Amino acid sequence: MLQGAVTSRPVRGVGALTLAIGLLVTNVSVLGARPAARPAAAQAPQARDQRLYPALQREPGDPEVIARGQAVYGISCRACHGLDLRGGDLGGPNLLRSQLVLKDDGGDLMGPVIRDGQSGAGDSSMPPQNLSDEDLDAVVEYIHDILGTASRQGGPPPGEEVELDILVGDATAGQTYFADRCASCHSPTGDLQGIGARVESPKELQDTWVRGGARNAERPPITVTVTRPSGEPVSGTLERLNDFLVVLTEDDGRHRSFTRRGDTPRVEVDDPMAAHREMLPLYGDADIHNVTAYLVTLQ
Amino acid sequence: MTATLATHRPKPPRCVTALAAALLFAPIASSAQPGGLDPASLVAPLEDSWPTYSGDYSGRRYSKLAQVTTDNVHQLTLAWTRTLDSGMPALEGNNAPDFIGGEGTGDFTIGSQRIKGSILQVGDLLYVTAPDHVWALDVRDGGERWHYFWKTRGGPHIGNRGVAIWHDSVIFETVDNYLVSLDATTGEERWHTEIASFEEQYFSTMAPIVVGDHLLVGTGNDLDAPGFLQSFDPATGELQWKFYTVPMTEQDAGIETWPSLDAAMHGGGQVWVPGSYDPETNYYIFGTGNPTPGYTGVARLGDNLFTCTLIAVDVETGEMAWYFQTSPHDTHDWDSAQTPILIDGVIDGVPRKLVSTAARNGYFFTIDRVTGEHIVTTRYGATSNWASHIRESGSPNPHPAKEAIIPGSLVSPVEGGVANWQPPAFSPDTGLFYTQENNGFNLLYLTDPDPRGSMGLGGKDRVTVGSGGNALSAIDYRTGETTWRHVWPVGGGGGAGVLTTAGGLVFTGDGSGNFVAFDAADGDLLWNTRIGNISNAPQTYLIDGRQHVLVASGQQLFAFVMY
């Protein structure tokens, strides 16, 4: 929710996690080439006292107790609350976002509910669980341990990687679309030869072609021509452009800058990426899926 | 929807200071403080000073000051600049803050943080915040009068929107969910009280809003927790009422828009940006955040009231007077929390009491602020592509194909939205509503197709693929049509809020390192100064008879003056 308000400056000590958040939101990008955030799990481990919330700051429990708790959970809790604690077919609520679980301290809130059950809460009632004190403590420890692995921004623990097939498009239709809209700049036997083999993941391939290049790829230079009312045009590689200034590097490496005031001097920009940007409002999702299906065939 | 009266007192206020450890357990007798800023004065239209978040209650950010005009804005001169060290301070020694509070150990370190809120100006002082920091600075040179620091327990330090001033108290929210009251003159803490559960992963950024003897306080949360607005006694921190933005019982209004009470109670709708206040009706009008889980709506089918909704509550009782949902069943993390603007206008020849808002989802709305009757809906985000149509009610209808899907959907805007917390402005002279307009695109993939939905903002992958161009837009509140629109050169936009003045000006940032001024009537670009990207909304006030303009860029403040 507060996403758009996140600072793009990494916060010292909150380190990797905040950096990931920062990258996520620098979305007003020049060419849309910002790297996407990596899952929190891929980040370097973080000092416990620098983590954001109590559930994550908690000291890890005894592995043996946690293992016992996991076994108890599997027997007594899993059917209702799910293998991953996120709720199950029998109507048990998601424990990882449960206000009671989050506020629990060593079983002070969970204990009575597990032992005595709970009636009429929301959609379901929980029957009492006949657990020994040791098993009850163990299952509480296990639940806290899982809570401590949650992803950033309220996401669940990473879990196992799920293979999802994004290739739903029609390659033939994609080829037709490509011929109509892309072939003036790109060729399946030229710059895109073997693109389906060069970019292994269809998702990465789709991201790449819609964006107009790989995530961290160097963009082709933008050229600019500046023409003053009383002078020869000056051309070069665009360095900076805003409403007040245009900065360029001439072919011989000379640095030039010009004050802008309205339409003076005349500034003509030739941005090879402009065509990709201009296509963005025009694509239908089916067009995108079809073109991806086609490009995958360019092995 | 219920407003429950408080049944318990918050825990006893405590005062912790670095300089006076002896006071650690001293009881603090809090009572109404005479003098200082009279809350009644906040109903006056914005002019000489800046005593509340939006300058006045209307949310217009329109100042009656007119020394700086379209003719002379190019003569604005830098009066002073001041860089604030908003990182982790030394907690002891000469450079330590004057007062240190907080329930944390001091081990959670914070880095330098940008100033992203309103700076209140009352008398000879400016009150500036960054997360965990409050400074009082001399209005004439930015010199430090006092500095208060809060030792946090953690939480995402993403921004703080500023303080509230009630008589001679300065009151602010901490990331780890405390409301802290300081002596406005000395910076010494009077009390603090917990406003939301840190264990449930609430975090707080909002600038509290004073209305009489009420202090309106919102919080944030990303982990599927219910949103609420609370009213506290500004003298004592005692809870007066709490208004939940989602149903919390089977009897609450809006329950029919959720598949289950469990879904509703985890449904979000956080209140994290200040709203506006209408003294004639005593309504506080504010927007609510997105429903949760944010991107996977499968387990919360329905409109999800009262998330992404413009709401009017009676300040005395906390009861809802009316609502209008600006984004039913959002699945893109597009809050409708933006500060709404109260407009006394004319529609079809009839004088009307109105409220307008430019929502994060790219749609602009004008509503009757007395009745909640819908008047205008238009799309102001040039490339916003997620709605199938406008419902008869005036709410845009979400297209299911534009949710996160496994093969990816191309969605505009991006997560940050067409607009975000950055305040818009409205000039009664031009009848125009000024807002930044950001038109990014992303490919949105569903990565967690679990029929139970994901949690929080999980379950998706967002890949930014480009921009349809960003702009500053001036919207006619009567029709929702864009009267003028300044497209920023590629790479510009975003980031800055807006100020407009009776001098016929609109001030904002261009996202390319410039602080800029436009002619409010036609969008002619009149002035710029390259001080870095603007991180808050510009403000203006009168000192020694001269109009000043104050703005923040990162950690640095710049005060301009017209001689």
Token reading at A220: 């082709």
Q: For B43-168, where are the alpha helices, taking DSSP H only?
A: none
Q: Do A154 and B455 lie within an 8 Å CB cutoff?
A: yes
What is d(CA B431, CA B160) in angstroms, rounded to the nearest whole number?
Answer: 30
Q: What is the pLDDT of residues A261-291, one digit of tens each?
A: 999 999 999 999 999 999 999 999 999 999 9
Q: Do B415 and A49 lie within an 8 Å CB cutoff?
A: no
Task: Give the pLDDT confidence score for residue A120 in this predicted structure.
Answer: 66
What is d(CA B508, CA B424) in angstroms, rounded to the nearest whole number?
Answer: 10
Q: Do A6 and B156 lie within an 8 Å CB cutoff?
A: yes
What is d(CA A11, CA A272) in angstroms, rounded to the nearest whole number?
Answer: 35
Q: Do B416 and A57 lie within an 8 Å CB cutoff?
A: no
Q: Do B452 and A162 lie within an 8 Å CB cutoff?
A: no
**Interface predicted TM-score (ipTM):** 0.90
**Residue B514's pLDDT band (cuts 50, 70, 90):** very high
Amino acid identity at A96: L
Chain A residue numbers with beta carbons less than 8 Å from the beta carbon of B511 are: 28
Task: Give the pLDDT confidence score for residue A119 in this predicted structure.
Answer: 80
User: Could you tell me the residue ranges of all domains in chain A?
Assistant: 3-52, 56-154, 171-217+276-296, 223-271
Q: Do B159 and A82 lie within an 8 Å CB cutoff?
A: no
Task: Give the pLDDT confidence score for residue A151 in this predicted structure.
Answer: 87
pLDDT over threshold 90, residue B495? no
Q: Do B468 and A277 lie within an 8 Å CB cutoff?
A: yes
The burial class, CB within 10 Å (0-12 / 13-18 / 19+), for B35 is exposed
pLDDT over threshold 80, residue B311? yes
CATH number for domain A56-154, candidates 3.40.50.300, 2.60.40.770, 3.30.420.10, 1.10.760.10: 1.10.760.10
Residues contacting A230, CB < 8 A, separation 6+ = none
**Interface with B, mutate which of A24, A25, A28, A287 (most B CBs under 10 A):** A28
Which of A30, A162, A289 is closest, CB to CB, to B407? Answer: A289
Q: Do B410 and A285 lie within an 8 Å CB cutoff?
A: yes
Q: What is the pLDDT of residues B232-290, one digit of tens each?
A: 999 999 999 999 999 999 999 999 999 999 999 999 999 999 999 999 999 999 999 99
What is d(CA A27, CA A35) in angstroms, rounded to the nearest whole number?
Answer: 10
pLDDT over threshold 50, residue B346? yes
Token reading at B25: 């357990």
User: Running DSSP on this structure, what letter comes out for residue B13?
Assistant: P
Asked if residue B52 lies in contact with residue B492, where contact means CB atoms within 8 angstroms, the answer is no
Q: For B203-268, where are the alpha helices, taking DSSP H only?
A: 261-265
Q: Is the peptide bond before B451 cis (omega within 30 degrees of 0)?
A: no
Q: What share of chain B is helix, strand, coil (3-state, %, to 5)?
A: 5, 40, 55
- Give the closest residue to B489 by CA, choosing from A26, A25, A244: A244
Chain A residue numbers with beta carbons less than 8 Å from the beta carbon of B465 are: 32, 207, 210-211, 280
Domain A223-271 has CATH 1.20.1260: no
- Give the closest residue to B60 by CA, choosing from B499, B374, B380: B499
Chain B residue numbers with beta carbons less than 8 Å from the beta carbon of A257 are: none
Which of A34, A52, A154 is closest, CB to CB, to B457? Answer: A154
Q: What is the pLDDT of residues B7-56, one digit of tens each?
A: 333 333 333 333 333 333 333 444 444 579 999 999 999 999 999 999 99
Q: What is the mean pLDDT of chain B?
A: 93
Half-sphere exposure of A76 (CA within 13 A, CB side): 23
Å between B173 CA and nearest CA of chain A? 15
Residues contacting A213, CB < 8 A, separation 6+ = A33, A219, A273
Q: Do A29 and B446 lie within an 8 Å CB cutoff?
A: no
Phi, psi angles (nearest 5°) of residue A211: -70, -30
Name the residue in chain A with its Cα closest to that of B264. A122
Å between A128 CA and nearest CA of chain B? 20
Chain B residue numbers with beta carbons less than 8 Å from the beta carbon of A177 are: none
Q: What is the pLDDT of residues B515-541, one digit of tens each?
A: 999 999 999 999 999 999 999 999 999
Task: Give the pLDDT confidence score for residue B18 in this predicted structure.
Answer: 35
Å between B210 CA and nearest CA of chain A? 23
Q: Do A243 and B442 lie within an 8 Å CB cutoff?
A: no
Q: Do A280 and B442 lie within an 8 Å CB cutoff?
A: no
Q: Which residues of chain A have pLDDT under 70?
A: 1-45, 120-124
User: What is the phi-psi region of residue B459: left when phi exceeds 0, alpha when psi lies from -120 to 50, beta otherwise?
Assistant: left
In this structure, the strands spanning B499-501 and B62-63 are parallel
Chain A residue numbers with beta carbons less than 8 Å from the beta carbon of B107 are: 49
Token reading at A17: 């996690």
